[in-house]
Chain A
Amino acid sequence: MDVGLSDADLAPRIADGDREAEAEMCRRMGPRIRLYGLRHLRSPSAADDLVQLVLVKVLEALRTARLRESDKLVQFVLGTCRLTVLDLRRSARRQEELLAAFGRDLVPESPPLPQLDDRQLARCVQALTERERSVVVMTFYDDQMGAETARCLGISEANVRVIRHRALRQLRVCMGARP
């Protein structure tokens, strides 16, 4: 396969029965779909399931040339992600049926999360200002605490966001992350 093929270039090739193009589409889209799944489903296994389900639906559509504008492939994948997440939330049973039908062959390897130095992270958090540390701890302890953090500190949610952003920038620098 040519070097430099865009995502959109893959769609017509898949419609023409090019199995390498299918594999390449899965290799590219799988990790992206998995990130979407992690964000919306909050579970690595559910995110893996989402990858399978979305890739199956996208491949079916591409093989039968149902995607008429190939440059809309990304939007089609994203839309399929959204609908599938809604479906997953509605029907766990349907998910199991689809998974039983298609197996686990369509889950490409996803990069693991980077490893963090926990002790360094603790040192970095302890080096924040008191206000920043309180916001960070209360924010990350519990996903539901955004508005509550603002109320407890007697500041606005916008202020909490500013403090959180400042703290996260400092933490990333302290942890040696890319700018």
Chain B
Amino acid sequence: MTSSYDRGHADCSDPIEAVVLMDYWLAALPSTVEERVEQHLMTCDDCGDRLREVMALAEGLRALARSGALQVIISDYFVERAVETGLQVREYAPPPGGAIQCTVAADDDLLVSRLALNLTTASRVDLSWCDRQGVEHQRMADIPIRADAGSVICQQSITWAKASPSSTMVARLLSVDEKGDERLLGEYTFHHTRTIPGPPGFEMP
């Protein structure tokens, strides 16, 4: 049997935008819009294919978010949910100006640094990762902060941490004003000791 609707041959004249399809997949559309999207999907295999692409991206992002492999600013709630869902979370919380000994074990799933700070006066905040000589190796610019949170929670890549050699890292929270001038808000030192055997790892990400 032949058909004009053979897969991949029907181009849509009014395609649904991918971000709308993603909102549909995330159940984030108003019901009236969702209804229109579903009507369209029941007639359009081209947009159905686009939805499959979006679903694959969503599944990839979900797996990535749960892998602990990303360096990202997260929330208390995120950490709580990770623990509730059975992930092994290793958390370090050095005091401002202080240092802490840290490591990571083979069965850890997430590695989290909790940097306590009063953020009420800062608008833009950068998180700078330096070595013990003060040389900056990485900067997380304009991190998301909530003024009343009292801390910044940074997830470090567990993949990187497990392969990292023993080293010292200094996290610096910096307030950056409109002219680009920086003011140190807090400094936190991590003395990382490698406990997982293996080949030499890489340096700071």
Show the binding face of A for B, using Cβ within 8 Å.
Answer: 1, 3-5, 7, 20, 23-24, 27-29, 31-32, 35-36, 38-39, 74-75, 77-78, 111, 113-116, 118, 121-122, 125-126, 129-131, 133-143, 145-146, 148-149, 151-154, 161, 164-165, 168-169, 171-172, 175, 177-178
Contact = CB atoms under 8 A, between A and B. Distances in A.
A7 B43 contact: yes
Interface in B22-79: 22-28, 38-39, 41-43, 45, 48-53, 55-66, 69-78
B2 A152 contact: no
Given A130-B143, A130-B144, A121 B61 contact: yes
A178 B24 contact: no
B82 to A, nearest CB: 8
Interface of B: 1-5, 7, 18-19, 22-28, 38-39, 41-43, 45, 48-53, 55-66, 69-78, 81-82, 85, 140-149, 155
B52 A35 contact: yes
Contact of B48 (A32, A161, A164, A178): A32
A116 B60 contact: yes
A122 B140 CA distance: 16
A126 B71 contact: yes
8 contacts: A32-B41, A35-B41, A36-B41, A125-B61, A134-B72, A139-B26, A142-B85, A143-B27
A36 B69 CA distance: 32
Looking at B4, B19, B71, the one whose CB has the most chain A CB atoms below 10 A away is B19
**8 tightest CB-CB pairs across the interface, nearest first?**
A152-B75, A154-B146, A140-B61, A141-B65, A165-B19, A116-B60, A113-B56, A4-B4
A121 B51 CA distance: 18
Contacts of B155: 137
Nearest to A28: B5
Contacts of B146: 152-154
Contacts of B81: 141-142, 145
A116 B78 contact: no
Which DSSP category, helix, strand, loop or mixed, fits chain A's interface? helix
B78 A138 contact: yes
B1 A23 contact: yes
B67 to A, nearest CB: 8
Given A3-B4, A152-B78, A78 B42 contact: yes
B152 to A, nearest CB: 11
A121 B64 contact: yes
A166 B22 CA distance: 12
A108 B179 CA distance: 62
Contact of B52 (A114, A135, A165, A172): A114
B140 to A, nearest CB: 5
Contact of B56 (A74, A116, A129): A116
Given A3-B3, A152-B146, A78 B61 contact: no
Contacts of B74: 134, 137-138
Contacts of B77: 145, 148, 151-152
A153 B148 CA distance: 10
Given A28-B5, A137-B72, A141-B62, A38 B55 contact: yes
B18 A169 contact: yes
B49 A111 contact: yes
A125 B52 CA distance: 20
Nearest to A112: B52
Nearest to B73: A134
A106 B164 CA distance: 53
